[in-house]
Amino acid sequence: MSDAAPADDKGPVVGIDLGTTFSLAAIMSKDGPRVLHRQDADPLIPSVVSFLDGGRVVVGREARDMAVLNPTRTVHSVKRLMGRGYEEVEVERTILPYTIVASEHAKLVLIEIDGRRYTPQELSALILREVKAVAEAALGLPVTRAVITVPAYFDDSQRQATRDAAKIAGLTALRIVNEPTAAALAYGLDTRREGTIVVYDLGGGTFDVSVLKITQGVFKVVATHGDTHLGGDDFDRAIMERILAQIAQQTGKDLRVQPRALQQIRLSAEALKIELSSRERAVLEIDLGLPSPVRFELDRAGFEQLIRPWIDRTLESCRAALADARLSPGDVDEVVLVGGSTRIPLVRRVVGEAFGRTPHTELDPDRVVALGAAIQADVLAGGSKDLLLLDVIPLSLGIETMGGAFAKLITRNSTVPCRATEMFSTSVDNQGGIDINVFQGERELVKDCRELGRFKLTGLPPMPAGLPRVEVTFLVDADGVLTVTAREQRSGRLAGIDVVPSHGLTRDQVKSIIRESIVRARDDFAARELVELRNKAHVLVQGTRRVLAMPEMPFTPAVRAELEADIARIEALSAAGDVPALKTATEEFGHKTQELADAAIGAAIKAELNRGP
Amino acid sequence: MAETAASAAAVCPACGKTPGSTLACLACGRLLDEPADADHFARLGAPRSPHVDRDALEAAYIRLSRLLHPDFHGGEGEAALERANRGSALLNEAWSVLTDAPSRQEYLLELLDAGALERHKVLPPAFLVEALELSEELEDAQRGEDPRAAAALVERVRQAMRERDAVLDEPSVWSAGDTARLARLLHEQRVYRRILRDAGVA
């Protein structure tokens, strides 16, 4: 946690759900956690970035609306690429309409748009900046610190990538919290219940299940399991395949090669899926410029049959998590559903059957994670001390030993922070360094596990082979992120460590992205200007309202109406985020109300004098 | 059974009371610098014993988590945070070792006689032959899809484990100082656990 906030850091800490399909922020208030949004706007910000002509970049709803018109330059589901290697995203490469390329050393995934290459971290940062801007607009304060959620099953590189995205966006990620754990916080806070709860989280791109034990306000995750490749997007794709097959059959056209048509069908498939959660049957008419629109029909039974294999896989994960927790379904007191895909009736039904109880669905499954993140944010901001979250590392962590075997140092489901130490030595005389390759996974051979990074111990004093004793400490912090330190026991010297993350960015790369991002500098300036303007406008409006409410103020109805119209206009401009117009309006209003303020002071003094002793 | 190391008997520098843990004072909440000989029993304030009082252990664990967890030390600078991370990691390790009976017993043996498990890892040939036969029979029964025979063999393994557990549960066995015997029993339990695990029995 080297980038933890210094003690003097002030300001709000928000909770952010950085989702595959949408993102949102929430904050703790005295009435409990609440989601943040621009005036009258939906708090759910589509996690979509679109590059428009003329170098303009849009994020959120506007970007999502470009998905069909501008498919190859509109990036969605970037979360699926975070912290992953090129060879690992084979599935994504075939689904996603934008261009995914490998970095020079073929390990990192890059997204190529108009000849420029972006890391998933940079694109996620654009989404986070939009979330930050919304939070700042809603709070009227700069926001620099956040708790960000990730799927429980994210490994170290994916978590690190998320932290790096935050850093690029100008946010300090005070904590990375697992999504199902955040959901449990959101539910647990209301009721103060004790016992064992299972959180079933089926989102757009990932599935997670976590088993938690709550005792005296301590939320201890006892086991977690999941699949980073299972979610509502898979259901959309299954429907899409059906539609494409039908079109091919009816027209002989293969639309797979047409990104625009493909995007349109993807969106239609998603709409159809959503409709089937509330209706028994849904019909699509897709106009592809063919002589007659393509008609596609699906009933709920057909849909359920289509998605059943994925749902069965989620139930296998549930059984595995319970087995790890050494519990049976009967030991579970509560089941909580999270993620948009848990709106599907089949999911509710089979999860209810699997645990023999009706799952909780009181909180909006799209918002519950952000609300929980806000609760944790409050703890980290020094607000609440009642609550403590004890999370686990989702995958075992270890090193490569002789012959490519995987030696586990920390087993999965260990409570974090946790650490392990291991002794290393040299195999040749005067060897100056030792290579340590760190992996994460459950298999016996490193080739079947995920490589996290290569650590090179350097600066060992010259000694005969086998004599140096280097104690290496692997510490997994409360975010589930690994740090490695090493000490040579005979010399007592701290060994140097060069880290080469296998699927992430080095510290220097993150720094250079921050430095190079021109868009960032410009937008940050604009964002700050907007925040300051909004604050100024807010103060003015509040002041004027107070004056208008004073009984001793002799306003004519016409003046009153004029001022109220001005206030409405300023509030509309503030909500819209229109900097130049808001600036002009605020300045004009400022001049106008200055006279009022003088008059008000005069009136107040007069009223005070008239009141007498 | 000797009570915990001297560290637990020391007084808290802040409140003067017995801290009850080497990690932090359970009386006043002060974080402590651990003595070099601190062990997992001392960390959770439990006597060195093959048994633990799980409720007492959990109460201490929760109280200590609240004192040590990095969430509550975010604004105190780098050093405090590192200490919180280290202390929490030790606490979590202590909890996972002491709440799992085989880990706890092996850990206790190492405290009583460091290296005993490694020195006494060669098991009697008769035991190994029997274990191997048992394992092969179980595999055959599972492959031949004879669930009744498989269940009977699993029960035989469990019975053998229960017999050893009964011995390991005796405090007198531990105080007798026969660490070779204890190591052998613990290794035999490991063999049985592996047989069950390989057979896919939880």
Phi-psi region of B83 (alpha: psi -120 to 50; beta: other; left: phi over 0): alpha
Number of domains chain B is built from: 2
Are B92 and A215 a contacting pair at CB < 8 A?
no
pLDDT class of A523 with cuts at 50, 70, 90: low
pLDDT digits (tens, 9 = 90+) for A343-373: 999 999 999 999 999 999 899 999 999 999 9
Q: Which letter, b or e, does each residue of A393-431 get, where b requires 16 or more Cβ atoms within 10 Å of its Cβ? A: bbbbbbbbeeeeebebbbebbbbbbbbbeeebbbeeeeb
Averaged pLDDT, A308-312: 96
Output the pLDDT for position A1: 35
What average pLDDT score do residues A42-55 get?
91
**Chain B positions in Cβ-Cβ contact with residue A382 (cut-off 8 Å):** 74-75
Spatial separation of the C-alpha atoms in residues A296 and A284, rounded to whole Å: 5
pLDDT attached to residue A36: 97
> How near does any CA of chain A get to the CA of B68, in Å?
11
Q: Cα B127–B128–B130 angle (5° rounding)?
A: 65
pLDDT confidence of residue A387 = 85
Pick A92 or B129 by higher pLDDT.
B129
Summarize the confidence of residues A445-458 as an average pLDDT.
83
Which pairs from A279-285 meet CB under 8 Å and 24+ separation?
A284/A243
pLDDT of residue A100: 92
Taking the C-alpha atoms of residue B94 and residue B103, their distance in angstroms, rounded to an integer, is 10
Query: Which two three-digit tokens encode residue A271?
Result: 């709409």
Given a contact cutoff of 8 angstroms between Cβ atoms, the answer to whether A32 and A220 are in contact is: no
Tell me, yes or no, whether A75 and A142 share the same domain.
Answer: yes
pLDDT of A504 over the 70 cut: no
What type of residue is A593? T
Q: Which pLDDT score, from 0 to 100, does residue A394 have?
A: 82
Of residues A4 and A215, more confidently modeled: A215
Residue B3 has a pLDDT of 41
Look at residues A510, A398, A390, A370 and name the one whose alpha carbon lies nearest to residue A36.
Answer: A370
With respect to residue B12, please indicate whether it lies within any of the assigned structural domains: yes
Q: Which residue of B has its CA nearest to A218?
A: B62
Question: Is residue A192 over pLDDT 70?
Answer: no
The CATH number for B86's domain is: 1.10.287.110
B121 and B92 part of one domain: no
- Provide the domain count of chain A: 4
How far does the CA of residue A371 sit from the closest CA of chain B (Å)? 18
A130-139, A185-194, A250-259: the lowest-pLDDT one: A185-194
CB burial string A309-338: b at 16+ within 10 A, e below: ebbeebeebbeebbebbebeeeebebbbbb
Residue A71: the pLDDT is 85
Q: What pLDDT score does A603 carry?
A: 66
Residue A256 lies in a domain: yes
**What are the residue numbers of the active site of A?**
17, 79, 179, 201
Q: How confident is the model at residue A606 (pLDDT cuts 50, 70, 90)?
A: low
Say yes or no: A419 and A551 in one domain: no
Tokens of A545: 């309202």
pLDDT band at A106 (very low <50, low <70, confident <90, very high): low
Supply the pLDDT for residue A551. 72
Q: Are strands A22-29 and A32-35 parallel, antiparallel or unpaired?
A: antiparallel
**pLDDT attached to residue A289:** 73
Residue B109 within any structural domain of the chain: no
Picking from A370, A390, A410, the residue at the C-terminal end of a domain is A390
Question: Could you tell me what percent of chain A has a pLDDT over 70?
Answer: 88
Last residue of a domain, one of B66, B99, B132: B99
- pLDDT attached to residue A7: 38
Answer yes or no: do A177 and A316 share one domain: yes
Positions of E strands within chain B: none
A464 and A579 in a single domain? The answer is: no
Its pTM stands at: 0.77
Provide the pLDDT for residue B46: 95
Domain assignment present for B108:
no
Let me know whether B134 and B188 are in one domain. Answer: yes
Contact residues, chain B, for A9 at CB < 8 Å: 75
Interchain CB contact of B72 with A (< 8 Å): yes
**Same domain, yes or no: A196 and A321:** yes
Please indicate, yes or no, if residue A282 is contained in any of the structural domains: yes
What integer pLDDT is reported at residue A6 of this predicted model? 41
Asked if pLDDT for residue A520 goes beyond 60, the answer is: no
**Boundary residue ending a domain (A482, A506, A530):** A506
Instruction: Specify the pLDDT at position A66.
Output: 85
pLDDT-derived band at A269 (thresholds 50, 70, 90) equals: very high
pLDDT at A505 > cutoff 80:
no
Peptide bond into A417 cis (omega under 30): yes
Residue B174, domain CATH: 1.20.1280
Q: Please tell me the distance in Å from A303's CA to the nearest CA on chain B.
A: 35
Q: State whether B90 and B138 are in the same domain.
A: no
Same-domain pairing of A414 and A320: no
Q: Indicate if A27 and A83 belong to the same structural domain.
A: yes
From chain A, the residues in CB contact with B65 under 8 A are: 218, 388, 390
Q: Which one is predicted more confidently, A557 or B132? A: B132
* Whether A137 and A218 share a structural domain: yes
Residue A595 clears pLDDT 50, i.e. is over it: yes
The answer on pLDDT for A506 being more than 80 is no
DSSP assignment letter at A410: E
Closest to A273 (Cα-Cα) out of A282, A265, A264: A282
- Of A480, A506, A532, the last residue of a domain is A506
Whole-angstrom distance, CA of residue A465 vs CA of residue A430: 7
Is A501 part of any domain? Answer: yes
Q: Do B120 and B171 belong to one domain?
A: yes
Instruction: Let me know whether A300 and A252 are in one domain.
Output: yes
With CA atoms as reference, the chain A residue closest to B202 would be A323
- Bridge partners of A211, per DSSP, are A198, A223
Does position A90 have pLDDT exceeding 50, yes or no?
Answer: yes
Over residues A538-558, mean pLDDT = 78
Q: How far apart are CA B118 and CA B100, in angstroms?
A: 20
Given B40, B66, B99, which residue is the final one in a domain?
B99
The 10 Å CB-count burial string (b at 16+, else e) for A132-163 is bbbbbbbbeebbbbbbbbbbbbbbbbbbbbbb
For A105, other C-beta atoms within 10 Å of its C-beta total 9
Which of A5, A6, A388 is facing B71, going by the closest CB pair?
Answer: A388
Residues A89 and A213 in one domain: yes
**Residue B64 shares a structural domain with residue B123:** no
CB A370 within 8 A of CB A16: yes
- Minimal Cα distance from B97: which residue of A? A414
Please report whether residue A4 resides in a domain: no
Determine, yes or no, domain membership for B104: no
Is A184 domain-assigned?
yes
Q: Tell which wins on pLDDT, A348 or A261.
A: A348
User: Among B99, B131, B166, where does a domain finish?
Assistant: B99
| Domain containing residue B163 | 116-198
- Is A417 in contact with B71 (Cβ distance < 8 A)? no
Q: How far apart (Å, rounded) are the C-alpha atoms in residues A283 and A301?
A: 14
Say whether both A226 and A365 belong to one domain.
Answer: yes
- Within a domain: residue B20? yes
- Cross-chain residue pair A475–B71, CB shorter than 8 Å: no
Show residues of chain A in contact with B55, CB under 8 Å. none
A362 and A495 belong to one structural domain: no
Q: Residue A406: which pLDDT band, with cuts at 50, 70 and 90?
A: confident
Mean pLDDT in chain A? 85
* B54 is a domain residue: yes
pLDDT at A382 over 90: no
The answer on pLDDT for A164 being more than 60 is: yes
Q: Return the DSSP state at A264.
A: H
Each residue's pLDDT, cut to its tens digit, for chain B (202 residues) gives 444 444 445 789 989 999 999 999 999 999 999 998 899 999 999 999 998 999 999 999 999 999 999 988 877 888 888 899 999 999 999 999 999 999 999 999 999 999 999 999 899 999 999 999 999 999 999 888 888 999 999 999 999 999 999 999 888 899 998 999 999 999 999 999 999 988 888 6
* Chain A residues within an 8 Å CB radius of B75: 5, 7, 9, 382
- Comparing alpha-carbon positions, the chain B residue that sits nearest to A382 is B72
- Residues B35 and B20: their CA atoms lie apart, in Å, by 14
Alpha helices in A550-612 (DSSP H): 557-576, 579-611
Phi, psi torsion values for A357, nearest 5 degrees: -155, 155
**CA B10 to the chain's CA centroid:** 24
Domain that holds residue A426: 397-506
Closest CB from B74, B89, B202 relative to A174: B74
Domain annotation covers residue B24: yes
B89: contact with A, CB 8 A cutoff? yes
